[in-house]
Amino acid sequence: MAQPVSNEERLFSLVLALLTTEQGLTKAEILESVQGYRQRYRRGGDNASLERQFERDKEDVRDLGVPLESIELPQEKGAVQFTRYRIPKGEYDLPADVAFTPKELALLQLAALAWREGSLSGESRRALLKLRSLGIDTEAPLIGFAPRLRARDAAFDPLRSAIERRREVRFGYLKPGEQRVRERRLRPAALVQFGGRWHVHGEDVGAGARRTFLLSRVVGAVAETGEGFDPFPGDPAEEARQALRDVLAANRAVLEVEDGTDAAARLGSRGEQDGDGRTVLHYTDEALFADELAAFGPEVRVLEPATLRDAVRERLRRTAADHGGAEDGDG
């Protein structure tokens, strides 16, 4: 069985094919010959799904900044099957005075690898796609310093796809303190990273209001419902970030942190000292912050707020009980 072709490889093959033709290629010629399409193409058969894939890919290529042209000859006007596609190489070339050293190419590739699973995926794909299609080798060995990063949760890709195509989704979501997973229906508008974590912002269909959900709390697969929706007005990503900034400003913790400990090194750089030598930090999610503080054990003592102190104590009690210790915790 042939190995599946990745989206990046299919788009690269499409760009390369359209760069190397002067007269352009018809849709049928592309589907029959280009890597990523030809493996699924059925001569004389039903290729409707493959044609829809090509239509989406055309828009993806244009979104990446590639000047893809549609050419319709006068004698074939209105006959879409004869429309030809090409990329004028002169409009896609790098400036004549731009060149990259092997070290610079390695750094570009590392940057793309680091970001390809994050919010700048489109930018990294655009950079590498352009370099490769212009014949610049970006596959130099990077053994020893290629990053092993995962910048997204499992829900990231299906949510990004739903945002791009404006499709409603449903998924299971587990809130802190609850034992039962609840199904949410969302019209997703933006994926944002805040505080080192990914969130999705959109309209919660059940609540009839804008909501922001933490991707790490999504349980199971994200599925599209088949319902579409109109574009969101304004800047949904900035709306989500501002809401998260407001939550961050409102949640203030006062801690006693033991000097010279791992907790002092990790928390001290993120917070500030008050007049009494205590560490003051702000947080967006009490449950996740309580998990982090409890992991430091006796190196941290929560003074304020009481709800955070109780949450840390409960985690310490559970840990002690799970390991057969006394259920004692000073928080």
Residues 144 and 161 in one domain: no
Which residues, other chains included, contact 57 with Cβ-Cβ below 8 Å and sequence gap of 6+?
Answer: 10, 11, 14
Compare 187 and 157 and report the one with higher pLDDT: 187
For 69-102, give the DSSP string. Answer: EEE--GGGTT-GGG-EEE--GGGTSPPTT----H
Question: Domain of 195?
Answer: 156-232
Has residue 56 been placed in a domain?
yes
Which stretches does DSSP call E strand in the chain?
Answer: 25-26, 69-71, 84-86, 167-173, 182-194, 197-204, 209-214, 218-228, 252-257, 272-273, 279-282, 300-304
Per-residue pLDDT tens digits for 58-74: 888 887 778 888 887 66
Residues 297 and 315 in one domain: yes
**Model confidence at 16, in pLDDT bands (50, 70, 90)?**
confident
Has residue 200 been placed in a domain?
yes
In the numeric block, the tokens 């709390």 are attached to 217
Residue 152: count other Cβ atoms within 10 Å of its Cβ: 19
Per-residue pLDDT tens digits for 145-161: 344 444 457 898 899 89
Residues 56 and 72 in one domain: yes
Q: How many helices and strands in the chain, by DSSP H and E? A: 10, 12
In the numeric block, the tokens 């004869």 are attached to 82
**Contact (Cβ atoms closer than 8 angstroms) between residue 268 and residue 305:** no
- The number of domains in the chain is 4
Has residue 160 been placed in a domain?
yes
Has residue 68 been placed in a domain?
yes
Residues 121 and 52 in one domain: no
End of a domain among 91, 125, 140?
91
Which residues, other chains included, contact 160 with Cβ-Cβ below 8 Å and sequence gap of 6+?
Answer: 121, 191
Query: Looking at residue 72, which CATH number applies to its domain?
Result: 1.10.10
Residues 136 and 168 in one domain: no
Has residue 224 been placed in a domain?
yes
Residue 47: count other Cβ atoms within 10 Å of its Cβ: 19
Residues 134 and 182 in one domain: no
**Model confidence at 22, in pLDDT bands (50, 70, 90)?**
confident
Has residue 99 been placed in a domain?
no
Has residue 100 been placed in a domain?
no
In the numeric block, the tokens 């503080």 are attached to 293
Per-residue pLDDT tens digits for 190-232: 999 888 788 999 999 999 999 999 999 999 999 999 999 998 8
